[in-house]
Amino acid sequence: MELDAKIGVLNNAGGSSEVSLNGIKVVCGINGPMEARPRQELPTTCYLEVIIRPAIGNPTVREKYMEDKIKNFLNSVIIGNLYPRQVIQVNLQILEKKNNNSSYTSDSDESAATEDVLLELNCCINSAFLALVDANISIYKAFNSNIFTYTHKGSLVKDGLSEAKSRHLVVYGIKNNKVDELLYGENVGRFSEKKLFMALERGEKESMILHSKLKELSVESVKQKFVYLS
Amino acid sequence: MSNKELYSPEGLRLDGRRWNELKSFTCKVNTHQTSSDGSSYVQQGNTKVMCKVNGPLEPKSKANSNNNNASITVNLNIASFSPVERRKRPKSDRRIKEMMTILEKTFSETVITKLYPRTQIIVDCYVLSQDGGILSAVANSVTLALIDAGIAMYDFVSSINVGLYNNSIPILDLNHLEEGDMSFLTLGIVGKSEKLAMMLLEEKIPFDKLETLLGIGISGAQRIKDLMDEELRKHGKLLISTAAS
Amino acid sequence: MVKLAGLSLNEQEFLTDSLKQGIRSDGRSLDQFRDVEITLGDQPGYVDVRLGKTRVAVRVSGSITKPYEDRPFEGIFTISTEIGPIAGAFFENGRPSDEEVLVSRLIEKAIKRSGALDVEGLCIVAGDKCWNIRADIHFMDFDGGFIDASCIGVITALQHFSRPEVTVSGEQVVVYSTDEREPVKLSILHVPICVTFALFNPKEKEENIKGGADGNEEAGEFAIVDATMKEEGLSNGTLTITMNKNKEICQISKSGGLPAEGLMVMDCANKAYGIVEKLTDQIKEVLKQ
């Protein structure tokens, strides 16, 4: 499914974005760099606070898990040394998620939960990228996230929403307009080593395509924010 | 459940009162001389509430310190044995937190807080027995305790609740059974004026009845103020006479 | 609701003085509600409400559970109102401040307690199975009017939502997916709308409580409709009135704040009714599409 994104959607946040992808909509608001509480202060780098709120219900361990993954990933991407003793707060609100028609009892929620985590992470990471750009926070590389699914028949599909044999989340960094390094990867399911590498390779190509789209959006938003004397 | 009507055709309620009669109101001031700066005990019918005030004193935490005004902290403890059936309420119960915040905001306006900057006034309320009108009884007892503590206030805050029976008949000063059966409005007025310091309506009433309810409620609250005033003056005279002797 | 620490004295004085003259910074009159933009999501039960710069999203979802023991014939309806830092850096994550408790209680009273949603209609098998309808309010951007925006959002989302069709045969309950049978709308008994007024006292506090210097002078307090974040921060008190189009008052909440005349409250209630009528019609229009 196509990505639909808007930048600068929130007034109170320093930087914000709204991304719709694969039927999941996420709004990201970034506050900071701002003053840190004593217990959060780090002497040479910034403290990253990631808060994820689910579409339905209160935040659970599942959201904590996603917060942890995103925090570790963003810590390697944000140039923390430029903001010592400060806090950057990344708020992600999941607004819409895949509707699970079969679950009406609370027990079946758990099995559906693990399936959706990668899809939501995918949307969150892309949203976080656009919001970081909007917030003017320095990052080492541009990045974007893609998700691939191996069906039971063995074919590799980009996105892929139905039952999967394995699902792969792939985040590549972009430097000098070229795909640079693999920044984050998360894989769920049963797959061979060969299949994993095929997915990563496909990821490189898709990452470049997605990057040009995200870059276009960021350039548009910068043009709107600043007035340049030509 | 008995099938007695809450309001009989003769105009009598379950406890024999008429629609505009208050519950029997008793109050005492300075009940806890040694453990607090000001204290009071209010009994409205079967609702018994006690209040202790400590302050103005050094704020317990920096968060409560305001450079221009005193900060008022209200703690409300509803005893588990107070309702008809024993019920343990967690301290974080939202209804209790809501009542505490309402009381804090009400008294922040009526206490002359600018006279006590950088201090904290701690108000502890204890509900010992519930029979309707808890918020009103607590507000009344807080007023008395603050006055007993000698904290400067612009005026009394006297509070009462008034309900609407069958969406048509206004009933003053409800008890527990009546509260459960009809919509009611809790209001607190400032002194003898008609100004509302606090107002809380939690269930539906027709719009046209609002004005009537307000009017009856305000006059009822003014009568409560007179009763509180009377007790305070009695207490004052007693203090003077014992001091003189 | 949230006292804005960052407002300079100059700005405070400027805004208060202009309000005394009846001028608001966004050009509205003192009695004017901001324009409400209601967007329905593709999935039933998702509504996005924009009230000026304030933005609130509401999602209604349903699941099947066991009803409460003391209410076997009723379904369960919960409203979740946790404000996160995404709405503004001054909101703390996790711990609801006292103000947030008031907001959440208000919304609950306006919608849940006033019986807007017919909970008896949610019962499937008495004492055993019932629908648990959950409304999650996502506060995304704060510029005053959270209560008003959330109320509009929840009541619209409840009307937009449809639950799957259910049949009961003896002990068995069959839930049909949306492809098999048309989902069923919830039974909404009335449409409550909240209107929040911010109270201001242009004169000294003593004058407000004791009356003017001459005794017969006008107190001068006034109320403005639908305050923005800055206006709310400067106000001396708030009054929230919830009404529906049937001229019923669902709830009134004046939790302390500036003491106000009974007449002013009546006046506010009248203004609120006008706004409620307009908004109810607007919601109906949006849902028709």
| Chain B residues with CB-CB distance to C98 below 8 A | 97, 100-101, 104
Give the separation between CA C186 and CA C75, rounded to whole angstroms: 12
Amino acid at B212: T
Q: Determine the distance in angstroms separating the CA of B94 from the nearest CA of chain C, rounded to an integer.
A: 7
Is residue C17 located within the same domain as residue C70?
no
Q: Which residue of A has its CA nearest to C136?
A: A56
- CA A85 – CA C277 distance, rounded (Å): 52
- Residue from B74, B75, B202 whose CB has the most chain C CBs within 10 Å, to mutate: B202
8 Å CB contact between A23 and A161: yes
**Subunits with at least 3 CB pairs below 8 A relative to chain B?**
C
- CA C209 to chain A, closest CA, distance in angstroms equals 37
Contact C86 A11 (CB under 8 A): no
State the pLDDT confidence band at C289, using cuts at 50, 70 and 90. Answer: confident
Q: Give the DSSP H or E segment for A187.
A: strand A178-189
Q: Tell the burial category of B180 from Cβ atoms under 10 Å away from its Cβ (0-12, 13-18, 19+).
A: exposed
Please judge whether A56 and C178 are an interchain contact, meaning their C-beta atoms are less than 8 angstroms apart.
no
Chain C partners within 8 Å of A99 (Cβ): 43
Distance from CA of B202 to the nearest CA of C (A): 5
Residue C255 has pLDDT above 90, yes or no: no
Residue C213 has what pLDDT? Answer: 53
- DSSP string over chain B: -----SB-TTS-BTTS--TTPPPPEEEEE---TTT-SEEEEEEETTEEEEEEEEEEE--SSGGG--SSS-EEEEEEEE-TTSSSS-----TT-HHHHHHHHHHHHHHHHHB-GGGSTT-EEEEEEEEEE-SS-HHHHHHHHHHHHHHHTT--BSS-EEEEEEEEETTTEEEES--HHHHHHSEEEEEEEETTS-EEEEEEE-S-EETTHHHHHHHHHHHHHHHHHHHHHHHHHHHHHHHHHHHH-
Q: Quick one: average pLDDT of C196-220? A: 73
Q: Mind telling me how many Å the CA of B32 is from chain C's nearest CA? A: 27
Do the strands B120-129 and B71-78 form a parallel or antiparallel pair, or are they unpaired? Answer: parallel
In chain B, which residues have their Cβ closer than 8 Å to the Cβ of C269? 207, 210
**Across chain A, what does the average pLDDT equal?**
88
The 10s digit of each residue's pLDDT in C114-143 is 889 998 888 888 888 899 999 999 999 999
Report the gap between the CA of B220 and the closest CA in chain C (Å): 14
| DSSP 8-state symbol, A135 | T
Check whether A230 has a pLDDT greater than 70. Answer: no
Q: Which band of pLDDT confidence, cut at 50, 70 and 90, is reported for residue C188?
A: very high
Is A157 in a helix, a strand, or coil?
Answer: strand
* pLDDT of res. A115: 63
Say which of A51, A56, A105 has its CB closest to residue C64.
A105
Contact C63 A105 (CB under 8 A): yes
Residue C154 has a pLDDT of 94
- Would the ipTM clear 0.85, i.e. be above it? yes
**Segments making up each domain of chain A, as ranges:** 4-229
Residues of chain A in Cβ contact (below 8 Å) with chain C: 9-13, 27, 29, 31, 34, 49, 51, 53, 55-58, 89, 91-93, 95-96, 99, 101-106
Q: What is the mean pLDDT of residues C66-79?
A: 90
Q: Flag whether pLDDT at C205 surpasses 80.
A: no
Mutation target among C70, C209, C235 for the B interface, most CBs of B within 10 A:
C209
Instruction: State which residues form the domain around C215.
Output: 9-31+193-288
Query: Mind telling me how many Å the CA of C11 is from chain A's nearest CA?
Result: 18
Nearest to C255 among B102, B194, B211 (CB): B102
Closest to A54 (Cα-Cα) out of A2, A104, A8, A123: A123
Q: Which of C41, C57, C87 sits opposite A12 (nearest CB)?
A: C87
Q: Are residues C259 and C282 in the same domain?
A: yes
Query: Does residue C3 surpass a pLDDT of 50?
Result: no
Three state DSSP letters for chain C: CCCCCCCCHHHHHHHHHHHHCCCCCCCCCCCCCCCEEEEECCCCCEEEEEECCEEEEEEEEEEEECCCCCCCCCCEEEEECCCCHHHCCCCCCCCCCHHHHHHHHHHHHHHHHCCCECCHHHEEECCCEEEEEEEEEEEEECCCCHHHHHHHHHHHHHHHCEECCEEEECCEEEECCCCCCCCEECCECCCCEEEEEEEECCCCHHHHHHCCCCCCCCCCCEEEECCCHHHHHHCCEEEEEEECCCCEEEEEEECCCCCEEHHHHHHHHHHHHHHHHHHHHHHHHHHHC
In this prediction, residue B66 carries a pLDDT of 80
Give the pLDDT mean for C85-97: 82
Residue C1: per-residue pLDDT: 34
What's the angle, vertex CA C184, arms to CA C182 and CA C189, rounded to 5?
Answer: 160
Residues of C in contact with B100 (CB under 8 A): 98
Check CB contact under 8 Å for C101 and B101.
Answer: yes
pLDDT of residue B150: 94
CATH H-level superfamily of A4-229 = GHMP Kinase, N-terminal domain (3.30.230.70)
Contacts B191 to C, Cβ<8 Å: 209
Q: Which chains touch C (3 or more CB pairs under 8 A)?
A: A, B
Per the structure block, which two tokens stand in for C182? 């048309």
pLDDT at C202: 82
Residue B1: pLDDT band (50, 70, 90) is: very low
Boundary of a domain, candidates C139, C161, C185: C185
Structure confidence at residue A114 (pLDDT): 63
Contact B110, B121 (CB under 8 A): no
Tokens of C163: 């639950």
CA B154, CA C151: separation in Å to the nearest integer? 36
Q: Does the domain spanning B3-244 belong to CATH 3.30.230.70? A: yes
Is the pLDDT reported for residue A108 higher than 90? no
Are chains C and B in touch, 3+ Cβ pairs below 8 Å? yes
Please indicate, yes or no, whether residues C77 and C102 belong to a single structural domain of this protein.
yes
Residue C1: inside a domain: no
* Residue C92 reports pLDDT greater than 90: no
Tell me, yes or no, whether C51 lies in a domain: yes
pLDDT digit string, tens, across residues B47-70:
999 999 998 999 988 877 888 899
- Report, as an integer, the average pLDDT of C236-251: 93
**Is C3 domain-assigned?**
no
Confidence of residue B3 (pLDDT cuts 50, 70, 90): low
Which residue is listed with tokens 């967007």? C39
Please give the average per-residue pLDDT across B165-194, as a whole number. Answer: 90
| Beta-carbon contacts below 8 Å between B and C | 120
Mean pLDDT of B119-147: 95
What pLDDT is attached to residue C103?
Answer: 86
Instruction: Give the pLDDT of residue C218.
Output: 58
Q: Which of C99, C113, C259 has the CB atom closest to B195's CB atom?
A: C259
- What pLDDT sits at residue A104? 58
Q: What is the pLDDT of residues B32-47, one digit of tens each?
A: 999 999 999 999 999 9
Compute how many other C-beta atoms are within 10 angstroms of the C-beta atom of residue A220.
Answer: 11
Phi–psi pair at A199, nearest 5 degrees: -65, -40
What is the pLDDT averaged over residues C63-81? 90
Is position C2 within any domain?
no
CB contact under 8 A, B105 and C255: yes
Beta bridge partners of B239: none
Lowest mean pLDDT among C3-7, C76-80, C222-226: C3-7
Contact assessment for residue A169 and residue A145, using Cβ atoms and an 8 Å cutoff: yes
Helix orientation angle between B134-148 and B209-244, rounded to the nearest 10 degrees = 30
Q: Does B203 touch chain C (CB under 8 A)?
A: yes
Compute the distance between CA of residue C135 and CA of residue B99 in angstroms, rounded to an integer.
24
- What is the distance in angstroms between the Cα of A230 and the nearest Cα belonging to chain C? 32
Establish if C165 belongs to a structural domain. Answer: yes
Strand segments, DSSP code E, in A37-128 are: 47-53, 86-96
Tell me whether chains B and A touch (3+ CB pairs under 8 A): no
pLDDT tens-digit readout, A68-106: 999 999 999 999 999 999 999 999 999 988 765 555 555
How many Å lie between the alpha carbon of C180 and the closest alpha carbon of chain B?
40
The predicted pLDDT at position A32 comes to: 82
- Residue B164 pLDDT > 90, yes or no? yes
Chain A residue numbers touching C44 (CB-CB < 8 A): none
Spell out the SS3 assignment of B87-153.
CCCCCCCHHHHHHHHHHHHHHHHHECHHHCCCCEEEEEEEEEECCCCHHHHHHHHHHHHHHHCCCCE
Name the residue among A113, A85, A89 with its Cα closest to residue A31.
A89
Q: Which of C145, C161, C185 is the last residue of a domain?
A: C185
With an 8 Å Cβ cutoff, is B103 touching chain C? yes
What's the confidence (pLDDT) of residue A103? Answer: 55
Q: Is the torsion defined by CA of B149, B151, B153, B159 positive or negative?
A: negative
Q: Copy the structure tokens of residue A218.
A: 């960021």
Estimate to the nearest angstrom the gap between the alpha carbon of C6 and the chain centroid.
Answer: 26
- Summarised one tens digit per residue, pLDDT across range A7-40 is 999 988 999 999 998 888 999 999 989 989 889 9
Out of C41, C89, C143, closest to residue A31 by CB:
C89
Domains: count for chain C: 2
The pLDDT-based confidence of A107 (bands split at 50, 70, 90) is very low
Q: Which of C185, C213, C239 is the last residue of a domain?
A: C185
Task: Give the pair of three-digit tokens for residue A53.
Answer: 């709120």
Lowest mean pLDDT, pick from A117-126, B5-14, B159-168:
B5-14
Q: Do C141 and A57 touch (CB under 8 A)?
A: no
The pLDDT value recorded for residue B193 is 82
User: Quick one: average pLDDT of C89-97?
Assistant: 80
Task: Indicate if C14 and C56 belong to the same structural domain.
Answer: no
Q: Is the pLDDT of residue A48 over 50?
A: yes
Chains C and A touch (3+ CB pairs under 8 A): yes
Within a domain: C4:
no
* CATH number of the CATH domain containing C277: 3.30.230.70
pTM: 0.89
Contact C164 A31 (CB under 8 A): no
pLDDT in tens, C45-56: 899 999 999 999
